[in-house]
Amino acid sequence: IFNKDLGQHILKNPLVVNGIVEKANIKATDVVLEVGPGTGNLTVKMIDKAKKLVAIEMDPRMAAELTKRVQGTAEQKKLSIMLGDVIKMDLPYFDVCVSNTPYQISSPLVFKLLCHRPLFKCALLMFQREFALRLVAKPGDPLYCRLSVNCQLLAKVEHVMKVGKNNFRPPPKVESSVIRLEPINPPPPVDFEEWDGMLRICFMRKNKTLAANFKTQSVLDMLERNYKTYCALNDICLMDAFNIKELVQQVLEEAGFAESRAAKMDIHDYMKLLVTFHEKGLHFR
Ligand code: SAM
């Protein structure tokens, strides 16, 4: 009866359910967005606390199950179900998000939520353990990666609880964790595409120096193309002696990160680096 492709593992342990609901700290004025409600074990615990709950569910059988479960209760009017794939949908307004979805959509879901406007108060998200640990990893942690930096640029991230496989029916193959996201409001004034473009290069080999990563020919070609466009648009004449490799190394030296390694740099380091690139007219898109 459960659809493995849709990651249908139902949360059975009421302690875990209650722990998530408690951490969500739902107020009577809040609109809750629940992604992947399944049979509604979390839904029924949240709906009486909220002003309204919007559930996004891909499986019509699950949606029917959930409808049945609240039918005839006082909460029935507060529930609306949107049928479909959360990644392909326009999200409605919400204050708090709670989600327990298949692990394939973890990364797109995090960034879909963080790009949603207006910003929400917080999100409680169940993820595969390793993915959750990547989200919260700090500089120097073995799991610190581009995902950690991108997520922590836009949100405060906290590991809330470990959830073992046996809390689910049927049990999944992997261990899970719940994390809490709180968007930084207002968001930092960073062009996310530029930011991510730069991070991709820094993290190509996260334990190598930036100077080494930025000597890659395809990287230099890309930066040179973008630089020429930038110069053309801003009426800047290219010097005869122009050398992209030297210019890039000059930026790294000036920012003080030529010998730094991505694995050890924090958000402020990356912000300083991006500003220094921009000051020299170097762009990542
Ligand atoms: N929240 C319930 C619980 O904790 O017991 C069920 C969780 S179950 C792990 C995942 C649910 O997400 C399933 O009901 C599945 O049909 C639904 N789902 C899977 N992919 C989805 C998607 N892309 N968009 C919306 N719902 C999805």
Q: What is the DSSP string of 5-53?
A: GGT--EE--HHHHHHHHHHHT--TTPEEEEE--TT-TTHHHHHTTSSEE
CA of 277 to the centre of ligand 1 (A): 42
Measured at the alpha carbon of residue 165, what is the angle toward residues 163 and 166, in degrees to the nearest 5? 100
Residues contacting 278, CB < 8 A, separation 6+: 194
Residue 38 CA, closest ligand 1 atom number: 14
Tell whether ligand 1 has an atom less than 6 A from the beta carbon of residue 100: yes
Looking at residue 104, what is its pLDDT? Answer: 92
Query: In angstroms, what is the span from residue 128 Cα to ligand 1's centroid?
Result: 14
Q: Residue 159 has which token pair? A: 């590991």
Q: How far is the CA of 16 from the centre of ligand 1 (A)?
A: 16
pLDDT of 1 reads 65
Is the beta carbon of 41 within 6 A of some atom in ligand 1? yes
Q: What is the per-residue pLDDT for 242?
A: 87
- 151 neighbors 10 (Cβ within 8 angstroms): no
Name the residue of 32, 42, 57 to mutate for ligand 1: max ligand atoms within 8 A of Cβ: 57
Looking at residue 215, its amino acid is K
Q: What is the pLDDT of residue 5?
A: 78
40 lines ligand 1 (CB under 6 A): no
Q: Ligand 1 centroid to 62 CA: how many Å? A: 9
Pocket test for ligand 1, best of 2, 5, 8, 20 (most atoms within 8 A of CB): 8
Predicted TM-score (pTM) of this structure: 0.94
Question: Which residue pairs from 45-53 have beta carbons closer than 8 angstroms and sit at least 24 positions apart in sequence?
Answer: 45/17, 45/18, 45/21, 46/21, 46/98, 47/75, 47/78, 47/79, 48/74, 48/75, 49/21, 50/26, 50/78, 50/96, 51/78, 52/78, 52/80, 53/78, 53/79, 53/80
Strand partners, 179: 125, 159
Task: Indicate which residue's Cα is closest to atom 19 of ligand 1.
Answer: 6
Q: What is the pLDDT of residue 29?
A: 98
Please give the number of the atom of ligand 1 that sits closest to the Cα of 37. 1
Which atom of ligand 1 sits closest to the CA of residue 10?
A: 5
Beta bridge partners of 83: 57
- Give the rounded distance of the alpha carbon of 281 from its chain centre: 29
Residue 59 near ligand 1, beta carbon < 6 Å? yes
What is the whole-number distance in angstroms between the Cα of residue 183 and the centre of ligand 1?
23
Note down pLDDT in tens along the chain; length 285 residues: 678 778 899 999 999 999 999 999 999 999 999 999 999 999 999 999 999 999 999 999 999 999 999 999 999 999 999 999 999 999 999 999 999 999 899 999 999 999 999 999 999 999 999 999 999 999 999 999 999 999 999 999 999 999 999 999 999 999 999 999 999 999 999 999 999 999 999 999 999 999 999 999 999 999 999 999 999 999 998 887 889 999 999 999 999 999 999 999 999 999 999 999 999 999 999
Does 11 contact ligand 1 (Cβ within 6 A)? yes
Q: Is 10 in the pocket of ligand 1 (CB under 6 A)?
A: yes
Residue 183: strand pairing partners? 155
Cα–Cα dist 75/179, whole Å = 27
Ligand 1, atom 4: closest residue by C-alpha: 11
Rounded CA separation 107/48 (Å): 30
Distance from the alpha carbon of residue 187 to the mean position of ligand 1, in angstroms: 29
For ligand 1, atom 23, name the residue with the nearest CA. 85
